[in-house]
Structure 1
Amino acid sequence: MATLRTAADDFLAQRRIAVAGVSRTSEGAHSGNGIYRRLRDRGYEVFAVNPNADRVEGDPCYRSLASIPDGVDAVVVATTPEAAEDVVRDCAELGIRRVWLHRSLGKGSVSETAAEYGRQHGIPVIVGGCPLMFSPAADPAHRIMRAVLTLTGAVPRNVQDAEQ
């Protein structure tokens, strides 16, 4: 079992990251869009995924993970928990081995069914929290949120290994 810090560092070491569940509009505080913008602004090659959008945040948007040219190394899931299950299935089919089910307050994208499916298919899914909480350039709000959510158990301290 890896620590969350180790898994987060490995996730953030990837350069091609998809964010599944971005909103068509950038208005409001949709977490997927915020993650997408921050990763893009920090130099990642980031891909927006929304089956109902052609553009997000002024950039091309892909309707599925499979439609991203040359694939990705990691996926942040910022969908409903029900949609997260489909995204994790797609990751398994495409050989994507780094998946983060986003959650800050509330349920977020966390689905135990999705996480278990991922583990059964070789993916040690990060369940809860946000990659921005673990970035070396994390803003004060994300650092505080990481501490609070870790203390309350909303962010796990460890990531279950994938089944081999």
Structure 2
Amino acid sequence: MAFENPSRDEIKNILQNANTIAVVGLSEKPDRTSYMVSEAMQNKGYRIIPVNPNADHILGEKCYPSLKDIPEPVDIVNVFRRSEYCAEVAREAAEIGAKVIWLQLGIRSDEVAQIAEEHGMTAIMDRCIKVEDSVLFPNGRNNH
């Protein structure tokens, strides 16, 4: 069966209940999309955990080389990597018990959809988490 993203209501519920977002491929360069999206989400009250083996801190948060190195539970794994790297990230997300694997705009992977389904994770693909949050919570999550 072809992959379909969750409904808007389901995405709203996911974002409403999420606190911690691990961002794989978060750049320390402020002009990169991953940085701008993560900074916006941080400003909206989400805890951002950067996953970047080449940096110590991004957006004031300690970086981790991989998802497995994060010492606390993660609700959403937001992925800013090319599609050929996403299945590996999805497997790691399943290992750490993440509830959602979110591939950014322009990224899709049938393998990720399959891994998510096998491990009871929700997959969201080819959507920008910042755009979804802005549309669903124009005044912020706590003011709806």
% identical aligned pairs: 30
2:23 paired with 1:22? no
Partner of 1:8: 11
Which residue identity does 1:130 align to in structure 2? C
Does the Cα contact within 8 Å between 2:6 and 2:124 map onto a contact in 1?
Answer: no
* TM-score after normalising by structure 1: 0.72
Question: Gaps spanning 5+ residues in structure 2: where?
Answer: 140-144
CA deviations on 1:53-80 (whole Å, 9 max, x unpaired) are 2122343211111222212111111111
Give the conservation status (yes or no) of the 8 Å contact 1:8–1:131.
no
Q: Which runs of 4+ in 1 moved over 6 A?
A: none
Amino acid across the alignment from 2:46? Y
Specify the code of the residue in structure 2 equivalent to 1:10: N
Alpha-carbon distance between aligned partners in 1 of 2:20 and 2:72, rounded to the nearest angstrom:
10
Seen in structure 2, the aligned counterparts of structure 1 residues 129 and 69 have a Cα distance that, compared at 3 Å, is same
User: Aligned partner of 1:78: which letter?
Assistant: F
Which residue in 2 is equivalent to 1:69?
71
Deviation at 1:111, TM superposition (A): 1.7
CA distance in 1, matches of 2:34, 2:119: 25
Amino acid at match of 1:137: P
Aligned length: 132
TM-score by length of 2: 0.80
| CA distance in structure 2 between the aligned counterparts of 1:16 and 1:83, rounded to whole angstroms | 22
Give 1:1-164 correspondences, 5 Å limit.
3-13=6-16, 14-26=18-30, 28=31, 30-103=32-105, 107=106, 109-135=107-133, 136-137=137-138
Q: Which amino acid aligns with 2:56?
A: D
Offset at residue 123 of structure 1 (A) = 1.4
